[in-house]
Structure 1
Amino acid sequence: MKDLTGIIAQQTDIATGIRMLTEEFPGQVVFSTSFGQEDQVLADIIWRNHLPVRVFTLDTGRLFQETYDLMDLTRARYKQPFDVYFPQTEAVQNLLREKGTNSFYDSVENRKECCHIRKVEPLGRALQGAKVWITGLRAEQSENRHDMPVLEWDGHRGLYKYNPLIRWSFEEMIAYLKANNVPYNKLHDKGFISIGCAPCTRAIEPGEHPRAGRWWWELSKKECGLHS
C-alpha cells in the first residue's frame, strides 16, 4: 500500500483515486456523509461514476428538518441507497434520564459525551469491516485539519482515511455544486456553513470562521471526536 499511498496523494481526479482504492480493497471502501456541501460533492462523484462505495450517514436524532429534506431529495436525484446509523437507544435513554435533554450546554465534557453517544459510537459500527474511509474534510474547515494528508493511516480504527477534498477551497467546492446542479442544504443560504445537530448549530456572521456556528458557546477547539 506504500506505493499506492503516494499515487493516490498525487491523483487530482477524485473519481480515479476512489476507483483505484476500490480495486485495491474491493467491497471495503465506505463514504460517510453528513449531507454538507463537501459531502454532496463526493456523493455526486461516487454515484455519477457508478463507483462501488458503500455510502452511510449518522442520524443523531437531533438533526435539522432541512437535513432530512435533503436526504430525501438526494435519494430521489441519484436513485441510490445509503445506510443510516442511529445511536444506541439505551445509551440515549440513560443520558436523558441522568442529565436531561440539553446537558451539552452545561460543559464541554457533557457535550463530548453526547457527541460520543450520538456520533462516535455509531460511526464505529458503520466502519466495521472497512479498509478505506472516504471523508469530505477540507483543510480550511478547522485548525486541526490544516495538515491532514490526502490519504492517511488511522491506527485507532485500523483503516485508511481518504480526504480527497482536503486541499479544495470553499470557492472550488461551490463551483462544483453549481456546475453539476448538485442538491444542497437550504440552510447554507441562510448563513449556516457547517451544519450539525440543530441545538448545536447556528448561522455565522460575515467574517466569522466557518466553524464558529458549531458549539458556539464553547471557546475550545471544536471537534466532536469523529476526526480527532
Structure 2
Amino acid sequence: MKPVFWKIPTIHKTDLEVQALFDKLAERLNLIAQNYQCVKFATSLAAEDMVLTDAIAKLALPIQLFTLNTGRLHAVTVSMIDQVQTHYGISIQVVEPNENEVNAFVARFGMNGFYDSEAAKKACCGARKVIPLNQALNGADAWLSGQRRGQAVTRTELAFQEEDTDRAIMKFNPLFDFTEEDVWAYLTLRGVPIHPLHFEGYPSIGCEPCTRPVKEGEDIRAGRWWWLQGDSKECGLHVAEVTNELEKNDESTITK
C-alpha cells in the first residue's frame, strides 16, 4: 500500500484571528528591536521561519536576515533564497561553511559518514551549521529562532527569551507559543511564500541527505535524522546551554 504522507493542516482560523497573530508577533519583534542594537535572524526558509520573515519585512524592522547554506541543501531550498528576496525586496545573507572544516569532517568520517553514528552526525552539523552560525552571529547582541514548543519533546519548555550563554548573547523565540495551525493559517491567509517541500510531505526541512517526508500520524520531526534512535532531533544550533529569562514567558518585558 502506498504510504500517506503528512499534509499541510486544514485551516479553520479567520482573517481576524490571523491578524491577531500578526499583531502579537509585531509587538514581540518591535520590543526586541527596540532593546537590542544588533539583532540577527537565522532563517531556514521553512514554515516557521517564513512567518518571522514576513513579519520582519512587513514591519521594516532593523533585523538582519541570514541563512546557512550547508552545501547539502535541497536545490529548491537554495532557490527559495532568491524567491523570498524578490517577494519582499529584502536581502538575506548567505553563510557557507569553512572549506577546511568540511574537508576535515570528510577526511575523518567520509562524505556521508553522518549515517554511521551520532558522533559523526554531530560533527557534520558542527562543521556545516554550528560553526557558520557562530561566525554569522559575530557582533550581534541578540538573535531569533523559529522554534515552537509543539515541534519536539526537547522544546516543550521553550521560553520567549533565553540567555545563550555559549555565545554570550540573548536568544528569542517569538513563535514559542504558536501552534502548528497558527503557523499555517498565517502563511496561507497572508500569502507568504511556502517552501515547495512542504507540499511533498515534509513538515520539517533540513539538509537533503538528512531529511525525508513524514508519514501521516508520525511526529513532525520524524523525518530529520530518521536513522538515529531517540526523541532528540537537534542539529546543535539550539542545544547550547541556555537559561530561561522569563519563567512565565511574559513577553511584555525584556531583561538585558
- What letter is aligned with 1:227? H
Distance in 2 between residues matched to 1:92 and 1:108, nearest whole Å: 17
Specify the alignment match of 1:223 in structure 2: 234
Percent of residue pairs identical: 41
Query: Paired residue for 1:149, among 159, 164, 181?
Result: 159
**3-state SS in 2 of match to 1:203:** coil
Distance in 2 between residues matched to 1:54 and 1:118, nearest whole Å: 20
Specify the alignment match of 1:65 in structure 2: 75
- What letter is aligned with 1:196? G
Offset from partner CA, 1:167-187 (integer Å, 9 cap, x none):
111111000001110001111
**3-state SS in 2 of match to 1:144:** helix
Query: Paired residue for 2:150, among 140, 143, 149?
Result: 140
Distance in 2 between residues matched to 1:99 and 1:128, nearest whole Å: 29
**3-state SS in 2 of match to 1:114:** helix
Specify the alignment match of 1:15 in structure 2: 26
- TM-score, normalised to structure 1, is 0.92
Distance in 2 between residues matched to 1:113 and 1:77, nearest whole Å: 35
**3-state SS in 1 of match to 2:139:** coil
Whether the aligned pair in 1 keeps the contact of 2:200 and 2:213 (CA below 8 Å) is yes
Query: Paired residue for 1:124, among 116, 134, 143?
Result: 134
- What letter is aligned with 2:26? A
Specify the alignment match of 1:7 in structure 2: none
Q: Does 1:80 align with 2:90?
A: yes
Offset from partner CA, 1:162-212 (integer Å, 9 cap, x none):
111111111110000011100011110111011000000000000000000
Specify the alignment match of 2:106 in structure 1: 96
1:22 positional shift: 1.6
1:68 positional shift: 1.2
Query: Paired residue for 2:200, among 182, 185, 190?
Result: 190
Distance in 2 between residues matched to 1:144 and 1:226, nearest whole Å: 13
Specify the alignment match of 1:5 in structure 2: none
Query: Paired residue for 1:33, among 34, 43, 50?
Result: 43
Specify the alignment match of 1:111 in structure 2: 121
Distance in 2 between residues matched to 1:207 and 1:227, nearest whole Å: 25
| Number of residue pairs the alignment of both structures matches | 217
Distance in 2 between residues matched to 1:91 and 1:126, nearest whole Å: 16
Distance in 2 between residues matched to 1:107 and 1:156, nearest whole Å: 25
Distance in 2 between residues matched to 1:188 and 1:103, nearest whole Å: 27
1:109 positional shift: 0.5
Specify the alignment match of 2:169 in structure 1: 159
Whether the aligned pair in 1 keeps the contact of 2:145 and 2:171 (CA below 8 Å) is yes
1:95 positional shift: 1.9
The structure richer in helix per residue is 1
1:37 positional shift: 0.3
- What letter is aligned with 2:118? V
**3-state SS in 1 of match to 2:206:** coil
1:98 positional shift: 3.1
1:18 positional shift: 1.6
Distance in 1 between residues matched to 2:101 and 2:63, nearest whole Å: 30
- TM-score, normalised to structure 2, is 0.82
**C-alpha RMSD over aligned residues:** 1.3
1:129 positional shift: 1.3
Return 5+ residue gaps in structure 2 as ranges.
Answer: 1-22, 240-256
After TM superposition, which residue ranges in structure 1, 4 or more long, deviate above 3 angstroms?
Answer: none
Distance in 2 between residues matched to 1:110 and 1:20, nearest whole Å: 40
